[in-house]
Amino acid sequence: MPEKVTVTRLKLTDFRNYAELALDLDGQHVVLTGDNGSGKTNLMEAVSLLSPGRGLRRAAYADVVRKDAENGFTVFAALDGMAGEASIGTGVDGPGDEAANRRLRINGIAARAIDELSDHVRVLWLTPSMDGLFTGGASDRRRFLDRLVLSIDPAHGRRVTDFERAMRGRNKLLSEPGWDAAWLAALEEQMASLGVALHMARQEMIGLLTGLVEHGEPAVAFPVPLLGLAGFLDGAWGRPAGDIEDHYRDILRQTRGRDAAAGRALDGPHRADLLIRHRAKDIEAARCSTGEQKALLVGLVLAHARLTARLTGFAPLLLLDEIAAHLDEHRRAVLFDLVDALGGQAFMTGTDASMFASLGDRAQFFTVHNGSVREREAE
């Protein structure tokens, strides 16, 4: 069994609809119930900021600060984490602060980078906005896949950011008359190295998930879909990485005129798409029913959580927003057993506490109402 990571105390200040909040947690799963708009997802979003990035809503920090607050927001968590007991505080100084100004203190010491959060906890989530993953645009699926990679490879986020920065620099140069060939070549060298590395990291994640499914017991209630990756140098893989980088760099050099006319790079990992199929039915996930798509998405997130636990030795913190809303009683019970079997702590939300009754004494139950939270007895 992987070791358990738990949040034991959570404090918010001027975060969304919470002026102040302090919760003491006992290490079990956390169930938050209440009416829509009461602040359940806001609380989950705060927990998601214990990971690098903008959290489960990907919101600008100016939108996170409570309305009419004079200062910024703070999120504080005490946890028993991957590096032992730790206190983590993060936030911004003012309502107008941008992403670059997010502060992070770990055990009272200012962190050099947000990525240091990955030394203490890995946070995964499933939200209603992800229900359109299979039918939405390729950019949504790429972002989803990159979150999966980031949970086991904290350096992946930096690769993606650096590639996009180099690509923007190339696009800008191509938009100007009299290209600087030497500067273009330097940017294309960066794009080739970073682009191949991040694409291979994505391929590795898909391979790891595939191996986990093929060597495990078949999942019935929440099957894991068959995954693939296409749209970037298709047919060119299977060779040494250096050869692939040379190939991509040549493509970039040869397509400068075309990309200048288009105003953007038309070849690269930013054009790749995550291919998802229902394994048992052998059809594209986009053609499955809404219920089948939900089951596939849950199965994929749970499989990724198992993989993260296996590779890191620690169960991830799992955030499941409105998870029980569209599941029947049997599937809810199966889901809760699967979540519990992961060996970690999960935060779950819903409008009706009775939907979580099968969790019994495995969870701590709270009622959320207009920015206030009170503990209640399990059903």
Token pair belonging to 238:
């299977």
Count of domains forming the chain: 2
- Mean pLDDT of the residues in the chain: 93
In a domain, 171, yes or no: yes
pLDDT at residue 254 in the model = 97
Strands (E) located in 224-362: 226-230, 273-278, 283-284, 317-320, 346-350
Q: Tell me what pLDDT residue 48 has.
A: 97
State residue 377's pLDDT score. Answer: 66
Q: Are residues 76 and 33 in the same domain?
A: yes
| Domain annotation covers residue 231 | yes
Q: What is the pLDDT along the chain (379 residues), one digit of tens a residue?
A: 799 999 999 999 999 999 999 999 999 999 999 999 999 999 999 999 999 988 999 998 888 999 888 889 999 999 999 999 999 999 998 765 554 578 999 999 999 989 999 999 999 999 999 999 999 999 999 999 999 999 999 999 999 999 999 999 999 999 999 889 999 999 999 999 999 999 999 999 999 999 988 877 667 789 999 999 999 999 999 899 999 999 999 999 999 999 999 999 999 999 999 999 999 899 999 999 999 999 999 999 999 999 999 999 999 999 999 998 888 889 999 999 999 999 999 999 999 999 999 999 999 999 999 889 999 865 4
Same domain assignment for residues 143 and 238 = yes
Give domain status of residue 24, yes or no: yes
The type of residue at 123 is V
Same domain for 255 and 350, yes or no, is no
Whether 173 and 265 share a structural domain: yes
Residue 239 placed within a domain = yes
Alpha-carbon dihedral sign for residues 350, 79, 103, 15: positive
Range of the domain at 111: 1-122+314-379
Angstrom distances, CA of residue 181 to CA of 168, 172, 176, 189: 16, 13, 12, 12
- Full-model pTM: 0.93
CATH for 178: 1.20.1050.90
Give the number of other Cβ atoms within 10 Å of residue 172's Cβ: 10
Structure tokens at 110: 């200012």
Residues 275 and 341 in one domain: no
Torsion sign over Cα 198, 200, 206, 212? negative
- The residue among 288, 312, 336 that closes a domain is 312
Instruction: For residue 56, give the CATH number of its domain.
Output: 3.40.50.300
Q: Give the end of a domain, one of 253, 281, 312.
A: 312
Same domain? For 290 and 171 the reply is yes
User: Tell me, what DSSP letter sits at residue 82?
Assistant: B
Are residue 302 and residue 324 in the same domain, yes or no?
A: no
Residue 31 near residue 353, CB atoms below 8 Å: yes
Determine the pLDDT at residue 217.
Answer: 65
How large is the C-alpha radius of gyration of the chain?
Answer: 22
Q: Is residue 127 part of a domain?
A: no
The answer to whether the CB of 105 falls within 8 A of the CB of 111 is yes
Give yes or no for a contact between 148 and 304, defined as CB atoms under 8 angstroms apart.
Answer: yes
Closest CA to 310 of 217, 211, 235: 211
Tell me which of 274, 289, 312 is where a domain ends: 312
Residue 376 confidence (pLDDT): 84
pLDDT tens-place string over residues 135-194:
999 999 999 999 999 999 999 999 999 999 999 999 999 999 988 999 999 999 999 999
Q: Is residue 207 part of a domain?
A: yes
Question: In terms of domains, do 31 and 62 share one?
Answer: yes
Q: Which residue has the tokens 């358990």?
A: 4
Please state, in angstroms and as integers, the Cα–Cα distance from residue 1 to each residue in 30, 124, 211, 313, 342, following that order: 21, 18, 19, 8, 8
Q: For residues 156 and 91, state if they share a domain.
A: no
**143 and 72 co-located in one domain:** no
Is 342 found in the same domain as 300?
Answer: no
Q: 95-135: per-residue pLDDT in tens? A: 655 545 789 999 999 999 899 999 999 999 999 999 999 99
Same domain assignment for residues 26 and 106: yes
